[in-house]
Amino acid sequence: EIVLTQSPGTLSLSPGERGTLSCRASQSIRPTYVAWYQQNPGQAPRLLIFGASSRASGVPDRFSGGGSGTDFTLTISRLEPEDLAMYYCHQYEVSPWTFGQGTKVEI
Amino acid sequence: QVQLVQSGAEVKKPGASTKVSCKASGYTFSAYGVGWVRVAPEQGLEWVGWISADSGNTDYAQKFQGRVTMTTDTSTSTAYLELRSLRSDDTAVYYCVLVIAGSPFEYWGQGTLVAVSS
């Protein structure tokens, strides 16, 4: 199976700061099949990014995704207090579909 | 609009079984699949597997093979996840998701806590 390794485990930022989350895959993935989710405490995950760089409906433009091959990133350009959450990358190209272990963004 | 509504929280003893339901609405149930993802305390998202609502074909993560069964009832647009021989490390919130080929998981159920404790 494709293993997704996220870094850092925890990202501490101040409001207004820029932060970059990394997701490295154990083998090459087509960007079409890479997504990022945000999970707030007590809530279901929310789709943020699909196709590596496309924002899902209603997602603020301070969130952006990129990457190719085995390395993908999620960037929060200007951190807002409501961005405190866990963030997960996900590949849906190869079965079994897999998730990264998550990055916690703390304010 | 698409909605996935799951059954309520459960407390089970080790060795028991659980069966979580996920009732779908807002789309043609038999046209797509339903998947299951869990999140254990202090752990990340974990893929359990999925079922095609049309064919009934299933694809389970290897970790759960032999302990899990996914089924659907097209007459009620409901999907089920059964997990047997429960252990304490099965304690988690289980989410159902709408599975569309080649697409990420845009629609999630609200989650069902399954707590395994003696």
**B81-110 confidence digits (pLDDT tens):** 999 999 999 999 999 999 998 899 999 999
- pLDDT bin (cut points 50, 70, 90) of residue B66 is very high
Q: What is the pLDDT of residue B42?
A: 87
Q: Residues with Cβ < 8 Å from A4, sequence gap 6 or more? A: A23, A24, A25, A26, A89, A90, A91, A98, A99, A100, A101
Cβ of residue B95 closer than 8 Å to a chain A Cβ: yes
Q: What is the pLDDT of residue A107?
A: 84
What does the pLDDT average to over B55-79? 96
C-alpha–C-alpha distance, residues A47 and B42, integer Å:
21
Contact of A1 with chain B, judged by CB distance below 8 Å, is answered with yes
Q: Which residue has the tokens 């919130």?
A: B93
CB neighbourhood size of B118 (10 A) = 7
Nearest to A50 among B37, B46, B104 (CB): B104
At residue A25's C-alpha, the angle toward residues A94 and A83, to 5°, is 105
Task: For residue B85, count other CB atoms closer than 10 A to its CB.
Answer: 11
A86 interaction partners in chain B (CB closer than 8 Å):
44
Tokens matching residue A65: 């995704």
Which of A81, A23, A18 lies closest to A52, judged by CA? A23
Alpha carbons B20 and A24: distance in angstroms, whole number: 33
Q: Is the pLDDT of residue A92 over 90?
A: yes
| Residues B74 and B30: beta-carbon distance below 8 Å | yes
Mean pLDDT of A52-64: 96
Q: Which of residues 24-83 of B touch A (CB under 8 A)?
A: 35, 37, 39, 43-47, 49, 59, 61-62
**What chain A residue is nearest to B49 in terms of C-alpha separation?**
A96
